[in-house]
Structure 1
Amino acid sequence: MFKSQIGEGLLDYIHKYRIEQAKPMMRGKLVSIAEIACLVGYNDAATFIRVFKKYEGITQ
C-alpha cells in the first residue's frame, strides 16, 4: 500500500530520509560517522556507510 501511494518501498523511503538527515551533519564535521549513524537511526557505522553508498554512489 505504501509503495502504491509514494512510489517506492517503505525501507527505501526510510533509508533516503535518514541519509538526507545525515548529510548536513557530515558537512559540519562536528561528530564522527559512528555518532551520525546512531543519530539517524543505524546501530553501527558499517551499515550506515553501506546504505549511504547505495543511495549516494559514494562513501562519505
Structure 2
Amino acid sequence: MATCKDTNGDTWEIYQANDGWRWRRTAPNGRIVGASSQGYSNRSDCESNARRNGMNCNPS
C-alpha cells in the first residue's frame, strides 16, 4: 500500500484489491470521505483517477 497526505491533511491510499488497483481518501478524523468506484488494472490509471478526484500528493 502506498500513502501520502495532501495539503488538507487527508490521507490518500493506493492499494491492490482483488479486482485491481484502488484508491481511498481518509479525513483527519478517520472517516473515509472518498474511494474509487472500480478496480484499475494499472496503478498509473488508478493514480490518475485519484488526481481527478482531488489527490495533490505523491503516494509512495
Shorter-chain TM-score bucket reads 0.3 to 0.5
Structure having greater relative contact order (Cα 8 Å, sep ≥ 6): 2
From the CA coordinates, give the structure whose radius of gyration is larger: 1
Q: TM-score, normalised by structure 1?
A: 0.34
- Comparing both structures, which one devotes a greater share of its residues to helix? 1
More strand by share: 2
